[in-house]
Amino acid sequence: MKTGTRIGLAIGLLTGAAHGAGFQLYTEGSTEALGQAGAISGRDDLTSLAWYNPAALAGADKTAIMGGIAMAQINTDFTTPIPDSDESMSDEWRMIPHLYAVLPVTREWTLMLSVNAPYGLVTEWSDDWVGRQIATLSDLKAVYVTPSVAYRVTDALSLSLGASAVMAEAELGSVTTNGLPSGMEASQTVTGDDLGYGFSASAHLDVAEGWAVGARYQSRVSLELAGIVEFGAPINGRLDAGADLTLPSTVNLGVANTSINNLSLGVDLVWTEWSTYDQIAIETSAGDTVAAKDWKDVWSFRVGGEYALGENWKLRAGYVWDQSPVPETTRTPELPGTDRQMLMAGAGWVWNGIGIDVAYAYLWADKGDMGTIYPLPGEFETTTHLVSVSGRYAF
């Protein structure tokens, strides 16, 4: 196989890992949102609505700022009938920050800023594991900076528009034997980045006493990742390459109820347009390469609640069922995606406008086989721990 074709395979891995960003861990909102499974689109009293549904904060009466960090530990085991070849992925804790600001302008107009990472992926396998020619490292960061403006149309209806600048970076590693003498291997590392743009629109409607609905649309974001492929010994070289990537559009639909004393409940449905990832289109010095992926659009179901325990404390809990977009044919070590479930709990404390929130979530996924396009038999099993802490101030 020619060197240019090896470049194509490496950039193909880059594209696959970027769409592995569909491996979303629900840490993009905030600690208060994570503790309620993100089922808050119908709410109107949470700072992190600056991301989930900015329209809900139209006419806010206080300036507010919130910042924090979530930490994720992903544990994936790969079992295979190949003797002495079972492997466990590195389970280091990874940090994901978030920042939100709400600035009332008039009784009708509110400005907001959201800085978060709704897409991201880190998987790291040992350099000598049996699947090293498929992937050893996949590290993607996609940070959204989203200013929004919301307008209260009537006492019941509010609308908003936002624009997102998306900064994406990826680093991926694997091992190749192509073009090398029998028994020899060389490491290959792919890095790429780009800046893309998107928009969002949302609405919030009070439909009856204690009942409200919310909806939010986030557009696709097109990225043209400019990449470099570096090869270790005995190849010792680097070449330019690139790949197009489209992050999917999403639609959130939520219902909230506050008719029970001290209790706020929410249910959200989230649709994600992962069918944008129907193929890989790669541009290399050796020409273009196209490979089918055939991902599908998926739904996520979220339910959560918050109970006010006196004036200063709030207790939270939630549940998520999340459908995987990955077909059986194309499941890979950088994204061993299967249907997932999550349970979470959290708490918040506030005094004189100062607040602290904490949350914990546990994710478990269905077992899934290696994609049938790869000549490597085996099964993946994934669990994830999430811990999040936020600080906030309203004045």
Question: How do residues 130-153 score in pLDDT, each as one tens digit?
Answer: 999 888 988 888 899 999 999 999
CB distance 141 to 168 below 8 Å: yes
3 has pLDDT over 70: no
Q: Which range, of 72-81, 192-201, 351-360, averages the lowest pLDDT?
A: 72-81
Quote the pLDDT of residue 54: 98
Using the CB atoms, write b or e for 293-330: b if 16+ within 10 Å.
Answer: bebeebebbbbbbbbeeeeeebebbbbbebbbbbeeeb
Instruction: Determine what percent of the chain is predicted with pLDDT higher than 90.
Output: 57
Please say if the pLDDT value at position 157 is more than 50. Answer: yes
pLDDT per position as a tens digit, 298-330: 999 999 999 999 899 999 999 999 999 988 888
Q: What is the pLDDT of residue 24?
A: 57
Q: Which segment, 62-76, 145-159, 221-235, is predicted with the most confidence on average?
A: 145-159
User: What's the confidence (pLDDT) of residue 27?
Assistant: 60
Q: What tens digit of pLDDT does each residue of 17-71 get?
A: 323 234 455 666 789 999 999 999 999 999 999 999 999 999 999 999 999 999 9
Q: Could you tell me how many helices (H) and strands (E) the chain has, helices first? A: 3, 20
* Cβ(53)–Cβ(330) below 8 Å: no
Q: What DSSP designation does 27 have?
A: -
Q: Is the pLDDT of residue 11 over 60?
A: no
Which of residues 304 and 233 earns the better pLDDT score? 304
pLDDT in tens, 245-265: 788 999 999 999 999 999 999
Structure token pair of residue 224 = 């043209």
Q: Among candidates 176, 131, 139, which has minimal Cα distance to 20?
A: 139
Query: What is the pTM for the complete model shown?
Result: 0.88
DSSP state of 248: P
CATH topology of domain 3-394: Porin (2.40.160)
Would you place residue 169 in the very low, low, confident or very high pLDDT band (cuts 50, 70, 90)? confident
- Residue 16 scores a pLDDT above 60: no
286 vs 133: which has the higher pLDDT: 133
Name the average pLDDT for the chain.
87
